[in-house]
Amino acid sequence: MKLVVEKEDELLNYLYNHLDMPKKTIKQYLTHGSIFVNNNRTTKYNMRLLPGMNIVIDTNSKSKKTLPFDILFEDDHIIVVNKPSGLLTIATNKEKEKTLYHIVREYLVSKNKNAKVFIVHRLDKDTSGIVLFAKDEKTKNKLQENWNEYVSLREYIAVVHGTLKKKEDRIVEYLKETKTNLVYTTKKDDGKEAITNYKVLKENNQYSLVSIFLETGRKNQIRVAFQSLKNPIVGDKKYGDKNDLENRLYLHANRLKIYYPEIKKEILFETATPNEFKKIMNRGD
């Protein structure tokens, strides 16, 4: 069964409106990995569809390789995924194989032996959330060279220790890095400007859930900003308490809006708040 998308919509809603099929049945197809958009398997109910995309429902497709995390968007030029915490974006001297780049590349090559993948931007190993890769060098160069102009929204969500004195603020700092890769605040004429905006969404007697908007993209910028407020991010053993018992950093890149030159319009990529964040906020009540 094949459909060609006629107008922008979310996957589940589009299928429900264009198929003579109960919504429950469509959800089952999604859950079992039997729906493909532009030849890419997806289980995301709210995957964003654009005109011209192909949708195929194939109940005999279980042998295809899948990713161990969500694909938020994919077409012939880019793939956008939801990176888990604890996974490097790209290789280092110590880690060559177990990286987001390697996993995404392996997935693409399983479908097309000539597939390529290129880094456009990255997240820290311990930060989860939205990462965009290019599938060809031309797209990679165009996005990288114009990244600051193309990106109109970079939003994160985090859980920090304690309660913040200001429930909404704009933090302007100047950052510098040591030889051991530790970022710290310094004087204006000695570091790079880092601007971090935040707003408290929820708080209890132990933690605060905050929404964060970046105006700059410096290394470890968010982690250093909340360290300077003496409200470090939960699970941050580098800039917070080394004895923090949490097994992950509670920082997640949840929204990215970017101008996509291939379609000459902006696209907003979104993910849900991780369940761990909700659980820890309930735990502190």
| Catalytic-role residue among 9, 124, 126, 236 | 124
pLDDT number for residue 45: 86
Listed in sequence order, the residues at least 6 apart from 81 whose beta carbon sits closer than 8 Å to its beta carbon are: 67, 69, 70, 71, 72, 100, 104, 130, 131, 133
Catalytic, 124? Answer yes
How confident is the model over 252-274, as a mean pLDDT?
95
The secondary structure of residue 28, as a DSSP letter, is H
Give the pLDDT confidence of 181-199 residue by residue, as tens digits.
Answer: 899 899 988 899 999 999 9
**Average pLDDT of span 226-243:** 93
Alpha-carbon span 36 to 28, nearest angstrom: 14
- Asked if 260 and 119 touch (Cβ cutoff 8 Å), the reply is no
pTM: 0.77
Decide if pLDDT at 32 tops 80: no
How many Cβ atoms are within 10 Å of 100's Cβ, its own excluded? 23
Neighbours of 183 (CB within 10 A): 22
Sign of CA dihedral 8, 12, 13, 17: positive
Confidence of residue 30 (pLDDT cuts 50, 70, 90): confident
Question: What's the 3-state SS for 47-116?
Answer: CEECCCCEEEECCCCCCCCCCCCCEEEECCCEEEEEECCCCECCCCCCCCCCEHHHHHHHHHHHHCCCCC
- DSSP letter for 274, please: P
Say if residue 40's pLDDT is above 70: yes
Residue with tokens 């398997």: 41
pLDDT band at residue 21 using 50, 70 and 90 as cut-offs: confident
Residue 111 pLDDT:
83
In 3D space, the residue among 210, 116, 195 whose CA is nearest the CA of residue 148 turns out to be: 195
Mean pLDDT computed over every residue of the chain: 90
Domains of the chain and any CATH numbers = 1-64 (3.10.290.10), 67-145 (3.30.2350.10), 151-253 (3.30.2350.10)
CB 77 within 8 A of CB 133: no
CA atoms within 13 A on the CB side of 251: 27
The label of the residue with tokens 């530790």 reads 182
Q: Give me 171's structure tokens.
A: 């933090």
